[in-house]
Each structure stands twice: as structure tokens, then as C-alpha cells.
Structure 1
Amino acid sequence: MKLLDELPVDHRLGQVYRYGAGLCGVALLVFGCLGFADGLAFFSTHGEQVAGLSSNGLLSFLSILFAVALIVGAVIGGNTASTINIVVGAAFVLSGFVNLGLLDSSANFLAFRMPNVMFSFIMGLVVATFGMYGRVSWKLPHDNPYWRARHPERADAEQRRLSLPAGGTGQRPPLTQ
């Protein structure tokens, strides 16, 4: 069984994944391009200020790489965008923790400073939230397409129950106020 087999396709939640990936991808693309425009040293551990964050050529390159991944996910849309958002978000959060440990060391190859760590955590959580929106929850509502895909028998039973006439008279039950 593949992971994507149980996920619904072409649902309105796909627009949330698509817009989230696109917005975050454009922000990262701008940051990466500004870093390249400044002609930053590729492996400098001190970095230069770009848009309020410390950056070097390697960080600019990685920012553009992740931006392209998010924008490709936004173009494809649907479950692909959701999965890309979750993976990229997790990578940003993990990067925040790793680079927090590398601050002020000679192994700080991405020239991170504390604002970069905070940005990494925030961007990671935002991107992952866009990816998980409506897909991951402790109690999804029964009309959610992910719940319906994961519980097809119960979803079919609920659909039959809602479509049966009241009392066998061929009429729908009256609406209550």
C-alpha cells in the first residue's frame, strides 16, 4: 500500500496547500536571490545581512532550492503540494535545531545567527501547517475527505443513512430548527 493511495484527490483543501507552498516559496526565492545579488562568499561562516537575516552563498543557494521545491508543489497542487509542504516544513524545523547547536562555531557553514534560527522555526511551522491543514488531526469531522478516505465503510454507511427516506414514506425527514 502506498501512502498516497488513501488520500483524496481534487478537493478544496488542495488550494490551501497550493497557496501556502506558493507564498512561502516566493518568500524564500526572494531571500535567496537577494543573497546572490549581493555576491556573498559561498562558505563564509560569518555571512552578511540580507533582509534582516545573516546569509552566505550556500544559504542563498539552499533557499532557492527549497523555494523551487515549494513552487513546483504549488504548480502541481493537491496531495503533492501537501506532502512537499510537510517535508520542507520538517526540514526547516530540523535545520533550526541543528543550526542552533552550531551557532558561533566553525561548523556554521550556513552563517546562521539567532534571527535565522527563529526564522527557520517559524517558516518550518508555517509551511508544515499549510501541508497538514485538514489532513492531520486527532478528530477530523466526518465530512472531511481524509476521514472519508480512511474510513470508507463508515462513510458509506453515513451517506446511506442520510439519503434514506424517513419512516419508509419516500420523504426526507423534516428539518429541525
Structure 2
Amino acid sequence: MQLQDHLPVDHRLGQVYRYSAGAIGLFLIVFGILGFTDNVGFFSTNGDHVLGMTSNGTLSLLSVLFGALLIYGAVRGGNFASTLNISVGVLFILSGFVNLGLLDGDHNFLAFHMRNVIFSFLVGLALMTFGMYGRVTTHLPYDNPYWRSRHPEAARVNPLPPRALPH
């Protein structure tokens, strides 16, 4: 299975990619802004509590940057938003593993605690799931635009029924 850039962009799955990137991006921006308002040190390893998690200046900045990137993906939409969701989701999963190893050490420069690690895993899984939704599977229905672009000969034999026009 491959993610291909030439796949159709004008389908209703694009809304899943857009809304998921926009919602998670908006949450990250709010989290980052609230982290900045507490005036915690930029590299403080203790951090301050924001929305049930800990944050410092570095984590707040990264949250705003990744939130803005996801908002950009939501605005751009289509396959770009899907691929961006998958890529950022992988980064969140990797961040969760790295910061899990740094929890009790002196190198915890993002002030992560266990709630942050769990949040990183959950957001990563959500972004990856929404990015792959309808795009990566072994059993796509024949009317899925990704299936149709991967099987053009079968799509010509089985054309889609015309959509009912509104009255």
C-alpha cells in the first residue's frame, strides 16, 4: 500500500482530514498560548500545569508551531492534509517514546510528565487514524476514490451510479 499524490482531492474524505487537523491544531495552539501566559522558564524541567498537563516555554512554542502547521493543513485540505496528519502523528508517537525515557532525568527539557506522554500517544494515534481514514486499508469499497484510482480498469467496468439530483 502506498500513499500517492495523484489521488483524487475532491471527495468527501477530505473533510475528515481537514476537520481533524483543524480541531487538533486549534487545541495545540490554545494549549501553547495558555502555557505562555504562565511565564514559566523556557527550559524549565518542572513546568507549570496547563489544561491538566505540564508545560514550559519550549513546549508552548512547539505546541503553537505544530498547531499552526495543522491549521495550515486544514486550510489546504485534500491529500496534503491527510499526509500531514499521518506525518505529524508519527512525530507525536516518537515524541511520546523519547519523552517517556526522559521523564525523571535532568534532560527533560519539555517538562513532560506521564499525562503529557499519554496525550502525545493519543494525539499521535488520532492524527494517524484520521490521516489514513479511507486511504490505507486492504478492503476499500469500490466507490472509494482511492480504490478507483488504484484500479482504473475495474472502475471503468463498474461506473458509479449517478447521484440523485436535489428536487
Q: Same-fold call, TM > 0.5? A: yes
- 1:15 and 1:44 mapped to 2: Cα distance? 39
- 1:9 and 1:78 mapped to 2: Cα distance? 5
- 1:99 and 1:38 mapped to 2: Cα distance? 22
Q: Secondary structure of the equivalent of 1:42? A: coil
Q: Secondary structure of the equivalent of 2:43? A: coil
The number of residues matched between the two structures is 160
User: Mapping of 1:1-177 within 5 angstroms?
Assistant: 3-5=4-6, 7-159=7-159
Runs of 4+ in 1 over 3 A off after TM superposition: none
Q: Secondary structure of the equivalent of 2:134? A: coil
Mind listing any 5+ residue stretches in structure 2 that lack a counterpart? Answer: 163-167
TM-score, normalised by the number of residues in structure 1: 0.86
Identity %: 63
Report deviation, 1:3. 3.4
Report deviation, 1:63. 0.3
Report deviation, 1:96. 0.6
- 1:136 and 1:55 mapped to 2: Cα distance? 34
After superposition, the C-alpha distances for 1:45-71 in whole angstroms (9 at most, x for unaligned) are 111111110111000000001000100
Q: Secondary structure of the equivalent of 2:159? A: helix
Larger Rg: 1
- What is the CA RMSD across the aligned residues, in angstroms? 1.7
Report deviation, 1:111. 0.7
The amino acid across from 2:26 in the alignment is V
Report deviation, 1:159. 2.3
Q: Secondary structure of the equivalent of 2:54? A: strand
Report deviation, 1:40. 1.4
Report deviation, 1:154. 1.7
